[in-house]
Structures are given as C-alpha cells and as structure tokens.
Amino acid sequence: MHPGADDAVTGGGPADRGGPRPPREEPDRATTASGPPGTVRRGHPFSPRNWALWRRRPRVVAFMLGSEAIAVVVLAISLAHSPALAARDWVNFGILAAGATVHIQLTQRQEERRRNRKKTVLIDLTAVWTFSAAMILPAPLILFVILVVRLQHWFIARRPAHNFIFSSITHGLAGVLAHATYTAFGPHFAGSGWSDFLSEFGAIVLAGAIYEAIQIVYVGGALALGMSSEPTLRNVLGSPADNMLEAITVGLGAVTAILLATVPPMVAVMAVVTVVFNRLAELDQLQNDVRTDPKTGILNMRGWSESAERALERTTRSGDQLSLLMVDLDHFKWINDTYGHPAGDDVLRTVAQTLDEVTRPSDLVGRFGGEEFLVLLPDIDEEATRDAAERIRIAIAKLHIVTTDKRGDPATIADRTTSIGVARHPRHGDTLERLLQSADAAVYLAKENGRDQVCFAPDTVTRPAER
C-alpha cells in the first residue's frame, strides 16, 4: 500500500512506488563565496547540510531521522548474523540483478512518462525483483539487489538526495524483515503434500504483508506528517487500483523466487513479463487520465457518463431502482472572489473526497463541471435516496477546509451550504440525458427555495433560462 520506488518520501509503495509528488523543494540556500563582494555560490545539493530536509516541519525531520536510525540498527544486526554466502547465493544474486537491470533499462522511458503524469502514488513494479530477493537470498545480497535497483532508478527519478536515501533504507529494511519472516518458517520448497503447500503459501503471504507494512509505516508516516502537500488517505495509501497492482507485483516477486529456486532459466521469462506488465500499467494510467478530473481526482464527465450509462442499462434490464443526485455548491463564486482560485480548488478537492467517503462503493461520483458534482445511486429506493442526499448535504456543511487566502496566509473555509437536486429512474427520465435535465431542474428549485436543501425533480421538467 505505500512508499516509493524512488522516492519514498515523495510517495510510493512496497511494490515500489514513486508516489505522490513532494511539495516543491525550495532552492538551496546560497552561501558566501570567496571573491568579489556580492559573489555567492550555492551549496552542492548532495551535501547533507544543504538538503531541503532541514526546511521541513520538525516533526517530519524527527520522524525520518528516528526511523532511519532504527532501520540502520536492524540492518546492522541482520548483517552481523547472516550466514556465510555460498556460491549458489551469488549465482541467484546475479540472475536477479540481471533481470532487474533488463526490466529497468527496457522500461526507462515508460517510467519517466508515468512519473511525469502521475500525481499520486506510482507503482514501478520492481518488487518483482526485490521481494524475490527477500525470499531467496541472504541479507547482504538482498541489500545488493536493492542497491542495483535503486541506483538505476536514481537516474530515472532524480529526486532529492535525502528522499532517495530514506526510500532506499526503507526498501532495505522491508526486504530484510520480510526475509527473516519467511526463513522463520523454513525449510522451503521441500514438501510435496497439501499441508506443505499451504504452509509455504502462508509463509509467502506473511512475508509479503511484512514487506508492505514496513513501507506503509515509513513512507506513509512521513507523507501523513507533512511530506505530502495533500496528505489525504488516497495520497498516503494510494487508490484501490494502486494497491491491487502492488499486490500483483509482490505476487510476481514470489513466483520469480519459486522459479529461481526450481528452474532458474525461467527467470528470463519474468523479465519479459515485467516489461509487458509495465507497458500495460502505462496504458491503464493513460486510460485513467482520460476519465479522471485532474483537479479533484474523481471521474470527469466523460468517465462518469460511460460508467453511468452502463449502470442505467443494468437497472433497465433488472427493473431495479436508481437515483441521480446533482450537488451544487452554493455561492462558490464568493469563495473564489474572497480567498482566490487556489482556495476554490482546495474546496473542490475536499468536497470530492467527502463525496467519495460518504457514498457507497457501488455509487458513481463525478464532477459535472464548475462547482457541480454528480452522484449516481443504483439499487436504491426513494427514502434511502433522500437519506443519502441529506447525508451529503450535512457532511459538506460540517467541513472545515484549511487553505490560504489571496495573500497566501492561512485561512479556513467552513459553513458552506449545498443545493442538491434529485432525479429518479424512471419517474423523472428513462435516459441519462433526461435524468440529468431533471436533476438540474431540481437544483434550480432548491436554489429558488432558499438553497441549502434537497429537492426532488418535478414530474414535468421546466428549466429557467438562467440560474
């Protein structure tokens, strides 16, 4: 679920995420240089004294340094108690390092494009190699494999040095602890009965959970404390799709380890699989970008309409009930005029997140445009529809949105009201277009009646010329 491929603290996750972009780093402070008066030189960005880390919030600095210290102690203990390396270990290391290098080099341009487009967590798929190393190699060689992966990713992501170090240490700790967990259930790949298979599967699942949990705690903790400019649950932990991709990647890492232990030449196939999988991930991201509103992260009108049409078709075939809510923020222009458009954007993002939280997983939430949102509620009766709409109205009214004013000073926007229009299928329309028209008419009715309320569409739709 969490941290990052190349930059842990910019985000990322066990399956090696590059993750949410960090807040823009401040330029390194200038230091006086020898020479003519007024001449200055900037400190080298790789020098620890010039890291932007020191300009972070104290709690972030304390968390990162403290967690790194703990990780270094654990890694040192693991290395001190590691058994002597055998020739087979070095062979396995060479195979994994070669596979990881082929994967990274053949997908470098794809990764650069994905990182440039991705604003939340990014799964880079290298856990196929690092998790398999955690299963099959001793601690020193696990760290060597991670080093091979991380150094190559440095040239792709080029993140701040302190982010790179923190993320690398996090990956090392996750790999070593996953290895300790897995070997505690050994020996492996020796049984042939169902009980042996189930025991092996359980050990792999537990090791994978440890591998993920360490990165969630380390990188997720740093992001939640302030490394992310928007420490929302989605930005810290990633979307369900992100975490599904990550789980699949860790699973592929387990398959790679099993192949390496039983049929080593077949690992070459996994190198091909990772390249293809990387391409599929990029295509999925492109498709998601087309369907997603960049300002709020929820479905845009195109993505919402496509999903809503399918839901409406299912409802028509099954004879179930369906409702459409149009959520319109009252006096939104006043927010932009008073606090500025960046504050208005913060309000839209927070409202979108709130809608996602207070609706059911089966409901479709999208941005209609401007300050209007759409929520499609399948399989719901009239009373439950009214309850859902009121729940949304109350949730938005309770929001306290921390933002900035026109001068950049801290500000909080609260006590915002919402007018919600409701259309029911088939009573107010048997097509998506007619339902939208009916819900829009209901919004007008709510505003004419004083705003801050839920109104159902009239049976006969009459729309005023202007709002």
Q: How far apart are CA 293 and CA 344, in angstroms?
A: 15
Number of CB atoms found within 10 A of residue 230's CB: 18
Q: How far apart are CA 99 and CA 92, in angstroms?
A: 11
Q: How far apart are CA 380 and CA 386, in angstroms?
A: 10
313 noted as active-site residue: no
Catalytic option among 371, 433, 448, 466: 371
What distance, in Å, lies between the first and last C-alpha atoms of the chain? Answer: 44
Task: Report which of 88, 207, 86, 100 is spatially closest to residue 146, judged by C-alpha positions.
Answer: 100
CA 200 to chain centre: 30
Whether residue 70 contacts residue 172, with contact meaning beta carbons closer than 8 Å, is answered with no
Q: How far apart are CA 402 and CA 342, in angstroms?
A: 12
Q: Is 125 left (phi over 0), alpha (psi -120 to 50) or beta?
A: left
Residues in the chain: 467
Q: Phi then psi for 100, rounded to 5 degrees?
A: -65, -40
**Residues 6 or more apart whose Cβ sits within 8 Å of residue 17:** 2, 3, 4, 5, 11, 121, 122, 123, 124, 219, 238, 242, 246
Residues labelled as active-site residues: 371
